[in-house]
Structure 1
Amino acid sequence: MKTPTTSPRYYIGLMSGTSLDGIDAALIAIDNDSPPRLLATHAEPMPDELHRLLLTLCHAEQVSFAQLATAEHAFSHCQAQAVKQLLAPLSVELEQISAIGSHGQTIEHAPKGHDGGPAYTLQLDNPSLLAELSGCTVVADFRRRDLAAGGQAAPLAPAFHQALFGRADTHQLVLNLGGFANLTWLSSQPSDPVIGFDTGPANVLLDAWFALHQGGRFDQSGDWAASGEVDEALLARLLSEPFFQQPPPRSTGRELFHLEWLQQHLSGQEDAANVQATLAELTAVSVARGIEQLRIDDDPLTLITAGGGAHNGYLMQRIAYHLPRATLTSPAAYGWPEDWIEAGAFAWLAHQRLHHLPGNLPSVTGAAGPRVLGGIYAC
């Protein structure tokens, strides 16, 4: 394997999560001997028309090539705009950017296949067009190599969490609250494997139910959820989903947890605000149960919380309630605010690919071994 040079290299990471609220762009610097450094960020809002199209694709039983092409074209232009806005106020030239790491937009994720068919994961993306529009080399299609090696292809962020938060003097536990929630356990012992897995939905159901009943894209600070009461009978029905009993490695997405899945569990008599409160409780309980599976002895337990859900005050209160021995800590203490870790992860994965270094963790995804992830689209 090649070894990275000692001079800092600059990478851009682009991430559009399952919340479909926009494209996060992060500029990072990577040295040999230091954790990656976050230099600049930009959040490019998802245009309403593109948001609707992507949401349709995520839940469509059949799609046309024309729909996919339209979505990819608009998505790539939105990505290029994010890169332009990220670099506009900086004295960084395009020639200084080693690569853009593009996650793409997850449309469907089925690591165990469907109805006996092969495993697959689809991230809508057009890295060739992005390279043309941005003037930068692009690295994309990070997930399918891990899938080909028998892995879940998700979550991929734990490898970056290890590079960012790993310490020899203490354990670290990281919780990402995006559309879905995932945990990463980093032992202080280098010989111990990193553990990471999805615990279940985070914002995806909260956002969908809010949009259906209140309009808008999300429940600001969880205020609507806080106005309701948890429906314990509904919560029990939701938690009966077999996914919550699966051992790691495990990952999930919109193909399982979506508005129709929720509605199948409703009696039709529930108060809408109570359902929102119950969905927040579902996230909090499933996170707490995921941590219980890790059998961590640390007391008190430090939990680094990241992702958009970390700004949901009500949700964070419920997580704290179910984890009384945990201290919830912002990753900003490490120089990485809550919203930028996943975009940073795909910048880091681009670095790994360019230097022929593994980007997955077999202990997390279940792959047959470490693999170099992604394809290179040279500018």
Structure 2
Amino acid sequence: MPGDTTPWTVIGLLSGTSCDAVDAAVGEFRFAPADGGGGEEEIVLRPRGLHTEPYPAGLREELMGVLPPARVTLEDVCRLDTALGRFFGTVAAGAVAGLPDGRADLVASHGQTVHHWVEGPRARGTLQLGGAAWIAEATGLPVVSDFRTRDIARGGQGAPLAAVLDELLLLDGSTGRGALNLGGIANLTTRDAHGAVIAYDLGPANALIDAVAAEASGGAERMDTDGARAARGRVDGVLLAELLAEPYYRLPPPKSTGKELFHAGYLRDRTAGRPVAADDLAATVTELTAELVAAACRGHGLTELVVSGGGVRNPVLMDRVRAAAAGTRVVGSEEHGLPAQAKEGYLFALLGFLTVHGLAGSVPSATGATVPSVLGSVTPGAGPLRLPGPRARRPVRLRIEN
């Protein structure tokens, strides 16, 4: 393990709710004195690149086959946990091999969420697959995994965990900026009128858009590439109004959701008896996401929205977000030093770095937990596990050093 002031090279592994690929974000992290003295520290991150591997077709089919609302066996879950762990290990090892010195210190793996158990306003449990031991075997490195469970055990949602990175990097004390991630689910981080950090899942983003493309193409399309279907279609105003009436949207934060609610069957149920052309359905669910984002911008009085996640690659979705949220400046996270596609990978790299230093990675005002938590479980690598001593104080900011 590196010493107290030596940079750590951390691999942040992420497979999101769109289930299209595994991202390995590589970053160097170190502590440094914060400006202003007083003994405060900041974390300095030097991004070292993003390594992405699409899922092999067979493995993705196996993964999609266990996602809600599918019924599965424990054998299915066991086999998939092993297969994902092996694939994550291959991706992490490839990311390490691609470094000039061929070495890293830690892997932080989110795993693949297959179920997020929510009842009304409470999260009851969560399950991410991708056994950490396989990653440790493939890389020889210690692995931090299972980031969400501890927060749920303390009364939180276990999501969105992006609040800690957003607070340290983007929310500089003002109440006018928000951070939006457009993954399978859209989530937002900002400050409330009292300056407290809040974060919550707005609702679907790519989850329903991807579902429309997959259903319309018989599974040949994983997503609405470049928003082509939405661009050809017309928004069905009646259906949009029905979708916006979803009770989840009226729940106060903190709150979280996932494909347990927003999946292809959800759309089939709401279009039963009145078929909607696939391209019109794509346009409608794209507009749904834009309307949810715009409503949040208005509700929080946001003047700037910093956007990341796979949804930024959909120009139609981004155009609709900008139009619906007119009056809010919409920018990519690149403007603040992190590539939009890699931001979540760096989030989990940061969380792993915090964990091994005994620092909390959760923000209770965002997740709803009673107290902050050091997140995750640590699996040893090839050698004995030696962790540094815990830091005395929480860092006050994250600074990007390119």
TM-score, with length taken from structure 1: 0.92
Q: Does structure 2 conserve the Cα–Cα contact (< 8 Å) formed by 1:36 and 1:164?
A: no
Q: Does structure 1 conserve the Cα–Cα contact (< 8 Å) formed by 2:175 and 2:195?
A: no
Deviations 1:194-246, CA, capped at 9 Å, x for gaps? 11111000001111110111331111110110111100000011111100111
Deviations 1:127-174, CA, capped at 9 Å, x for gaps? 112111221100001101000000011010111122232435785311
Separation (CA, whole Å) in 1 of partners of 2:155 and 2:200: 16
User: Which 10-residue stretch deviates more, 311-320 or 161-170?
Assistant: 161-170
Which residue number in structure 2 is paired with residue 150 of structure 1? Answer: 155
Which residue number in structure 2 is paired with residue 353 of structure 1? Answer: 355
Which residue number in structure 2 is paired with residue 292 of structure 1? Answer: 298
Which residue number in structure 2 is paired with residue 101 of structure 1? Answer: 108
Which residue number in structure 2 is paired with residue 37 of structure 1? Answer: 46
Matching residue within 279, 283, 297 for 1:273: 279
Query: 1:34 and 1:353, CA in 2 relative to 1: closer, same or farther beyond 3 A?
Result: closer
Which residue number in structure 1 is paired with residue 8 of structure 2? Answer: 9
Q: Does structure 1 conserve the Cα–Cα contact (< 8 Å) formed by 2:83 and 2:130?
A: no
Q: Does structure 2 conserve the Cα–Cα contact (< 8 Å) formed by 1:101 and 1:140?
A: yes
Separation (CA, whole Å) in 2 of partners of 1:318 and 1:213: 22
SS in 1 for 2:259: coil
Matching residue within 198, 202, 205 for 1:202: 205
Q: How many residue pairs end up in the alignment? A: 366
Which residue number in structure 2 is paired with residue 68 of structure 1? Answer: 77
Which residue number in structure 1 is paired with residue 253 of structure 2? Answer: 248
Matching of residues 335-350 of structure 1 within 5 Å? 335-350=337-352
Separation (CA, whole Å) in 1 of partners of 2:207 and 2:320: 17
SS in 1 for 2:67: helix
Separation (CA, whole Å) in 2 of partners of 1:38 and 1:126: 26
SS in 2 for 1:287: helix
Q: Does structure 2 conserve the Cα–Cα contact (< 8 Å) formed by 1:111 and 1:153?
A: no
Matching of residues 212-251 of structure 1 within 5 Å? 212-214=215-217, 215-251=220-256
Separation (CA, whole Å) in 2 of partners of 1:113 and 1:102: 28
Matching of residues 66-215 of structure 1 within 5 Å? 66-94=75-103, 97-112=104-119, 119-167=124-172, 171-186=176-191, 192-214=195-217, 215=220
User: Which 10-residue stretch deviates more, 73-82 or 229-238?
Assistant: 73-82
Unaligned 5+ residue runs, structure 2? 32-41, 382-402
SS in 2 for 1:10: strand
Overall identity of the aligned pairs, in %:
37
Matched, 1:321 2:320: no
Separation (CA, whole Å) in 1 of partners of 2:129 and 2:92: 18
Matched, 1:332 2:338: no
Separation (CA, whole Å) in 2 of partners of 1:269 and 1:229: 14
Q: Letter of the aligned partner of 1:330 in structure 2? A: G
Q: Letter of the aligned partner of 1:285 in structure 2? A: E
Structure 1 residue 54 displacement after superposition: 1.1
SS in 2 for 1:316: helix
Structure 1 residue 59 displacement after superposition: 2.3
Q: Does structure 2 conserve the Cα–Cα contact (< 8 Å) formed by 1:195 and 1:363?
A: yes
Separation (CA, whole Å) in 2 of partners of 1:112 and 1:8: 42
Structure 1 residue 292 displacement after superposition: 2.8
Q: Letter of the aligned partner of 1:112 in structure 2? A: E
Unaligned 5+ residue runs, structure 1? none
Q: CA RMSD in A?
A: 2.1
Separation (CA, whole Å) in 1 of partners of 2:73 and 2:80: 11
Which residue number in structure 1 is paired with residue 24 of structure 2? Answer: 25
Q: Letter of the aligned partner of 2:338 in structure 1? A: W
Q: Letter of the aligned partner of 1:109 in structure 2? A: H
Structure 1 residue 288 displacement after superposition: 1.4
Structure 1 residue 61 displacement after superposition: 4.9
SS in 1 for 2:90: helix
SS in 2 for 1:244: helix
Q: Letter of the aligned partner of 2:342 in structure 1? A: W
Query: 1:349 and 1:202, CA in 2 relative to 1: closer, same or farther beyond 3 A?
Result: same
